[in-house]
Amino acid sequence: MYPYFIMAKKTIPLSDSKCTGAKPQEKDYSLYDGHGLILFIRKSGSKVWRFKYKRANGKDGLMTLGNFPALSLKAARDKRRELEELIANGIDPIEHGEIQKAKLDNAYSFEVIARDWHKEYSNTGRWIEHTAERALKNFEDYVFPIIGQQSIDAVKPRDLVKVLRSIEESGYAEVLKKTRQRFSSIFAYAISRGLIEENPAYFLKDVFIKTNKSKHHPQLPLEQLPELLQKLENDKGYPITKLCTTFALHTFVRSSEFRFARWSEFDLQKGIWTIPGERELIPGQKFSNRGAKMKMDHLIPLSPQVIDILKEIHPYSGMTKNVFPKNGDPQGFISESTINKTLRRIGYDTNKDICGHGFRGMACSALVQSTLFQKEAVEKQMSHQERDQVRLAYTHQAEYLEERKAMLNWWSDYLEANRVGYISPYDFTQQLLNDDVINFKYAKLAK
């Protein structure tokens, strides 16, 4: 017996005359040109070009190309070649066609994609509600009016530079910085959806943008501490406001960290204040859910002086959850401008001399000059935390805690010492180390 082979049926390409001469039958039928091109003849007599191919999921894809003879055999073959080229490049012709149609309907404009990105990014939980709202508002104000209606694949680097220049001229350095970062993320999102191949924001990092110099919060030279302390002592303002200002000076935490403090965060027995990464949002009190800046619990050791301050505050607000309630509204919170208003009332220019945030700079400067504390411990207490997530996995909120307890005690003691006259941080340290009564508190920290 001789072996035999079953030969694959060979498709004979169509001709113009065969296409023209194809007559309708009782049922619809197809004529094949090869490589997926089909002339579909309906029983009604109409003839339609189709293209059949295998999709990435293993299923057949079927596309309608146009009617014959309006679309000739040659034109249909040209379309087939275009579709075969898409497939060779890993692009699904049906998905490509849907995207192109949506672009004509402006469904893939920059604004539409940016809003989709914003919605998905907001759902990751990386933004608090206020940040998400502000991010979208910035795009509505500065970006969408310029490039919002452009198709996402038509936006060029020069268009993005035009937007950045516009923001730069408005003088909003922080908006400029955030917008440049978000451009890159939005186009990366568009790439992940198969809408574009390259990120036009990639080269923005090399674009020179004139930005305003960073504005540093004014802080008094330490030599002027005695005068500041004396003025605070003589202040005749609302008692809880005066106590709040003193508390902020002793703890040198950020405004939102002390303004929204709850009594439940304090353990006076252990002398620890735990600022949560996020607080409970109180209805009607904007931003009241703000906690520690780095969104992680932050520990503040309480010096004896700070514990005394809290005990003085307690009669004014101990009956409420909030340590610093708004005057006349026990459920509210002290204003963000309270500290600066106090400083202005006692004679300081908060734009040039000293502002509430400047307390942090003064404390940091004194702690460094004391020569007692490690730089890492000071940074930890200032809550300048490591943003590297891998490194963060190996750190703990209580790192350097014993040294930080001594640090807060030292700062409060230093403030007390300056009530009667100026003494430098270094000289104060030497004085402490030479005092046999309190030497044990700081001697082991001396370098």
CB 263 within 8 A of CB 370: no
Angle at the Cα of 252 from the Cα atoms of 248 and 256, rounded to 5 degrees: 70
User: b/e string for 312-333 if b means 16 or more Cβ within 10 A?
Assistant: ebeebbeeeebbbbbeeeeebb
Active site residues: 254, 293, 357, 360, 384, 394
Q: Given pLDDT bands bounded at 50, 70 and 90, which one contains residue 276? A: very high
- Rounded mean pLDDT of 402-406? 90
Nearest-Å Rg of the Cα atoms of the chain is 35
Q: To the nearest whole percent, how much of the chain has pLDDT over 90?
A: 42
pLDDT digits (tens, 9 = 90+) for 167-198: 888 777 788 889 988 999 999 998 888 888 88
Cα separation, 184 vs 136, in Å, equals 15
Mean pLDDT of the chain: 84
Evaluate if pTM is beyond 0.75: no
pLDDT digits (tens, 9 = 90+) for 298-311: 899 999 999 999 99
CB 438 within 8 A of CB 417: no
The predicted pLDDT at position 393 comes to 40
Is the omega angle on the peptide bond into residue 69 within 30 degrees of 0, that is, cis? Answer: yes
Q: Given pLDDT bands bounded at 50, 70 and 90, which one contains residue 59? A: confident
The predicted pLDDT at position 2 comes to 42
